[in-house]
Structure 1
């Protein structure tokens, strides 16, 4: 099928009598409950369960190998190629499947708060609660914008359609397939709503760099003086938590672009982890769970409908999706100036990286390319305990282009805007996972605030003897023994052994980068 044929098939689907377009939040909540897709909580949110797919399914994600993009994509285990024939056959099957449904739900909106580069999108959903999720997570159009809206990319989501790998050419019953030429994202076999969010992010990670704009997997906030801070990190490292600061205004919690004019949010909502959520530790997120919020895989009391955020019986990856205006301190529109501070967040399951360290330009590039963290339980299917992983640019699962493309753009912006960069470990201290403890959020907040406020720009530091990182010797509100990870371990020799082990993992991982300036590896990486 060519692009015109694909578009015509979609138009025929959208003419059906079963189509519900741009329903309001109350309408979608009613539909979700009446159809048995979700339940109402005591707070007025709805909660849905996603079955066995409680996180992303990266082995089931593909990009159609098309002439216009095949020489640009960084093909491999992350960006798996699939043929146009496989896509076409599945596309027809999915559309025929959806035509038979009593109701379908369509959302029209945007990705990108910058009007000059905004991407018009639409989402066709089998489930009403999925459509509500998209309504809350993407940028909602005004009446005037809706009247002239012409989607450039369309998500077609049919979680009830299960692929047959032997016949359909997939790896399992689930599939997430992107066709850049036909401008379709085809999703089936998985009820996990995050696949829709991350598919649009992947699209933007291809389109924005082509326009000279750096796309970033990060959260962002801004102070009263216009000082912007970025927080890079994978799911579970604290991006959403740390950027939701009552003293600063939130730009966005997960996905941003950085143009010549400054930073802008790609989304119109937040997708926060809720495991162990409490009003005391994370009041902004806790208070955002209200009428219109979508909870995923959160266990609720069957009678009182009270959520139990400590219950991980369905998954560790419990989530809340809500529009960004449910947070009190936000920037409207979600646009700000150039960052002064960048925070790289890592959840170190080995417990050997400092809780905070200042990075030189070379170290910043090294750690951005390395993207070290730990996969946390539930963020991907099959992950039940933390696993060390190197995720390039803190977002490898969502980057269609070679990592060096994003790294070069970031390096140029750090230089141009004289940005201070810090590495923050929100993982373990006093020992590795199972022995030590998770870093206290109150300590992390104190360190991050000190960095953002410029209090660490000229402080005394000492250099870590294994990783070469520069550790501040004193930060208000943080015990000095916490700042030095070696001092937090009772067994110092065990610390040295584990730290050297991780340092070697860094060095081995960095060998995969072929076109990186030699000084970044020599001056930015571990020194032993």
Structure 2
């Protein structure tokens, strides 16, 4: 195993402070505010990931799909950051990615300026705790200087990923997501090297009469991944809300000891678990609207719709991540707005991988202004994979084929059917609709038929689902006299998908052929 870099010297270092100590430092931050829940919200200057300012450090960019930085330039970046840290008060938080029994457990740490104490406070909730076996030399390291200038780089910000030494460095960004993904992105690469596939996925366990079912949920931020993970079916319990690893034979391993939830539109009626955890003294909030009296408004997006919060798994009822076992089915979330059904079942492994590679959705504020409202395709719905995208697809095919049981893959539309909100007659797929679908998939109670246009299976009956036009969009368009529009959309989408998939040289031909 390659050795992690030593931490640079600083004026002072607070090592693994308590949550209470971190709250005291956060209280001194000029952009922090105590809320009605007796917790803290911090209004960060940066409101989303800085993908355009992120570089992989290498002198051999061939195997990397993201933008790169040569080591000669990186040496100057390291020197600049270490000089900056020398007279700063810092915080060091150490822990693990992965629970104690995971073969993919990896030591990790974040080293960050004390002036931004909310970031290590939130990160501490997501790490599994350090133990006597924790080794500095094995640690995935994030060196984080939110206030160190990054002149000459996009938006005056910089993130560097040094995979040779397992170090991510962050400059001039005060958004917590860069701390969280700083470690997880390196862990994903390491997992791939171990033969696994790290997935941008939630996980939950759903009890049924035929036994417990482990459900994986992948989707871009803002498509409903966390919501789908936490909605209850038959008393289901969440295990993980963001990143898991799938290994040969179908076993799944979780990563984080807490959750990082999107807060815009958070409603205790539909998401009581998340709401209860964040509306408590132990929750942390970031970029949420808070008035001068501490009142929280989860529907106010005047600053950003990408408000966030963290809480530990200990704050909620959850299933023990150490007992997760094998995955039974995978949900691919797609916030579509026209002809995608509320649920489609993939008819083959190759078709499942093809739709995994399409990674379709409508972008949200989580990806920044460049993505919000735009139609996106992100293979595996995983913007953090650093290698060439076709490798994800081929690896998933191998892993599914290694399973000695029927592993179902489904695409769920969490958006609308028939057009955008301003199109008369269009319909929204509501949270109760998606929940009924997930329950019926787990119980094996959906009736299916082949779709003549796309070759996947569409539902003819879902228990407790009251709108067949959401299940079969052709019906909606036909009933509204819009059948020609539907057929035009089908033709255009099929050709667009085929053209997009041709860009993934290296993807196995049978996967490309599975798209009708």
TM-score by length of 1: 0.89
Q: Across the two proteins, how many residue pairs are aligned to each other?
A: 496
Residue 119 (structure 1) shift: 1.4
Q: How far apart, CA to CA, are the structure 1 residues paired with 2:185 and 2:5?
A: 21
> Is contact 2:341–2:473 with CA below 8 Å preserved after alignment?
yes
Does residue 468 in structure 1 map to residue 451 in structure 2? no
Residue 201 (structure 1) shift: 2.1
> Is contact 1:244–1:250 with CA below 8 Å preserved after alignment?
yes
Name 2:319's counterpart in structure 1. 330
Name 1:447's counterpart in structure 2. 437
Residue 384 (structure 1) shift: 7.2
Name 2:492's counterpart in structure 1. 501
Q: 1:192 aligns with which of 175, 180, 197?
A: 175
Q: 2:240 aligns with which of 252, 275, 285?
A: 252
Residue 216 (structure 1) shift: 1.0
Q: 2:14 aligns with which of 16, 20, 42?
A: 20
Instruction: From the superposition, tell whether residues 195 and 433 of structure 1 become closer, same or farther in structure 2 (CA, over 3 Å).
Output: farther
Name 1:152's counterpart in structure 2. 139
Q: CA offsets, 1:147-187, max 9 Å, x none?
A: x655522111111112111xxxx333101101112321110
Q: 1:58 aligns with which of 44, 51, 61?
A: 51
Name 1:243's counterpart in structure 2. 229
Q: CA offsets, 1:102-149, max 9 Å, x none?
A: x2111001112244332111111111101101101222224x456x65
Q: 2:94 aligns with which of 100, 108, 123?
A: 108
Q: CA offsets, 1:312-344, max 9 Å, x none?
A: 0111111111112222123243x4111111111
Residue 61 (structure 1) shift: 0.7
Q: 2:42 aligns with which of 40, 45, 48?
A: 48
Q: CA offsets, 1:335-364, max 9 Å, x none?
A: 411111111111113x21111011022210
Q: How far apart, CA to CA, are the structure 1 residues paired with 2:326 and 2:342?
A: 26
1:175-186 aligned within 5 A: 175-186=158-169
Residue 37 (structure 1) shift: 4.3
1:346-425 aligned within 5 A: 346-349=334-337, 351-360=338-347, 361-376=349-364, 378-383=365-370, 385-395=372-382, 397-415=383-401, 416=403, 417-425=405-413
Q: How far apart, CA to CA, are the structure 2 residues paired with 1:159 and 1:410?
A: 36
Name 2:148's counterpart in structure 1. 161
Q: CA offsets, 1:9-34, max 9 Å, x none?
A: x2433xx4x21110111110111012
1:151-300 aligned within 5 A: 151-165=138-152, 170-224=153-207, 225-246=211-232, 247-260=235-248, 262-289=251-278, 290-300=280-290
Mean CA deviation greater in 489-498 or 397-406? 489-498
Does residue 30 in structure 1 map to residue 21 in structure 2? no
Name 1:427's counterpart in structure 2. 415
Q: CA offsets, 1:171-225, max 9 Å, x none?
A: 3310110111232111011111101212222212211121112211111111343
Q: CA offsets, 1:244-302, max 9 Å, x none?
A: 13321222001001234721111221111111111101111101112232211100121
Q: 1:519 aligns with which of 486, 510, 513?
A: 510
Q: 2:129 aligns with which of 115, 131, 140?
A: 140
> Is contact 2:15–2:92 with CA below 8 Å preserved after alignment?
yes
Residue 437 (structure 1) shift: 4.4
Q: How far apart, CA to CA, are the structure 2 residues paired with 1:252 and 1:384?
A: 25
Q: How far apart, CA to CA, are the structure 2 residues paired with 1:460 and 1:495?
A: 21
Residue 35 (structure 1) shift: 3.1
Q: How far apart, CA to CA, are the structure 2 residues paired with 1:66 and 1:331?
A: 42
SS of the residue corresponding to residue 26 of structure 1 reads helix
SS of the residue corresponding to residue 328 of structure 2 reads strand
TM-score by length of 2: 0.91
SS of the residue corresponding to residue 251 of structure 1 reads strand
Name 1:438's counterpart in structure 2. 428
